[in-house]
Structure 1
Amino acid sequence: MAKIALITGATSGIGAACAATFAAQGYDLILIARRENLLISQAEELTSKYNVQVKKIQADVRDKENINYVLDILPAEWKKVDVLVNNAGLSQGLDPIDKGDTDDWDRMIDTNVKGLLYVTKVVSSWMVERKQGHIINIGSIAGKEVYPNGNVYCATKHAVDALNKGMRVDLLPHGIKVTAINPGMVETEFSLVRFKGDENRAKKVYDGLEPLMAQDIADAIWYAASRPAHVNINDMLIMPTAQATGTIVKRD
Structure 2
Amino acid sequence: MAKIALITGATAGIGEACAHTFAREGYNLILTGRRMERLEALAQTLNEKYNVEIAVSSFDIRSRQQVVKSLDELPDNWKKIDVLVNNAGLSQGLDPVDKGNFDDWDTMIDTNIKGLLYVSKIVSGWMITHGSGHIINLGSIAGKDVYTNGNVYCATKHAVDALNKGMRLDLLPHGIKVTAIHPGAVETEFSEVRFKGDKERAKKVYEGFEPLLAQDIAETIWFVASRPAHVNINDLLIMPTAQANASTIFRK
Q: TM-score, normalised by structure 1?
A: 0.99
* Cα distance in structure 2, aligned partners of 1:25 and 1:43: 15
Measured on the aligned residues, the alpha-carbon RMSD in Å equals 0.5
Instruction: Give the residue type in structure 2 aligned to 1:108.
Output: M
Instruction: Give the residue type in structure 1 aligned to 2:40.
Output: I
Query: Which of structure 1's runs of 4+ aligned residues deviate more than 6 A?
Result: none
* Cα distance in structure 2, aligned partners of 1:56 and 1:77: 14
1:81 is aligned to 81
Matched, 1:42 2:79: no
Q: CA deviation at 1:221?
A: 0.1
Which structure 2 residues correspond to residues 61-210 of structure 1 after superposition, within 5 A? 61-210=61-210
Matched, 1:12 2:12: yes
* Cα distance in structure 2, aligned partners of 1:67 and 1:249: 37
Q: CA deviation at 1:130?
A: 1.0
* Cα distance in structure 2, aligned partners of 1:208 and 1:86: 30
2:229 is aligned to 229
Q: CA deviation at 1:30?
A: 0.2
Question: What is the percent sequence identity of the aligned residues?
Answer: 70
* Cα distance in structure 1, aligned partners of 2:186 and 2:66: 30
1:214 is aligned to 214
* Cα distance in structure 2, aligned partners of 1:229 and 1:60: 33
Q: Secondary structure at the match of 1:146?
A: coil
Q: Secondary structure at the match of 1:55?
A: strand
Q: CA deviation at 1:66?
A: 1.2
Q: CA deviation at 1:60?
A: 1.0
Q: CA deviation at 1:244?
A: 0.2
Where structure 2 has 5 or more consecutive residues not aligned to the other structure, the ranges are none
Where structure 1 has 5 or more consecutive residues not aligned to the other structure, the ranges are none
Q: CA deviation at 1:13?
A: 0.2
Q: TM-score, normalised by structure 2?
A: 0.99
Residues 44-96 of structure 1 deviation map (CA, whole Å, 9 limit, x = unaligned): 00000000000010111111011101111111110000000000000000000
* Cα distance in structure 1, aligned partners of 2:236 and 2:201: 29
Q: Secondary structure at the match of 2:169?
A: helix
* Cα distance in structure 2, aligned partners of 1:240 and 1:177: 26
* Cα distance in structure 2, aligned partners of 1:55 and 1:161: 29
1:32 is aligned to 32
* Cα distance in structure 2, aligned partners of 1:197 and 1:68: 30
Q: Secondary structure at the match of 2:233?
A: coil
Q: Secondary structure at the match of 2:6?
A: strand
Instruction: Give the residue type in structure 1 aligned to 2:235.
Output: D
User: Number of residues paired by the alignment?
Assistant: 252
Instruction: Give the residue type in structure 1 aligned to 2:186.
Output: V
Residues 121-159 of structure 1 deviation map (CA, whole Å, 9 limit, x = unaligned): 000000011110000000000000111000000000000
Q: CA deviation at 1:2?
A: 1.0
Q: CA deviation at 1:234?
A: 0.3
Instruction: Give the residue type in structure 2 aligned to 1:190.
Output: F
2:251 is aligned to 251
Q: Secondary structure at the match of 1:74?
A: coil
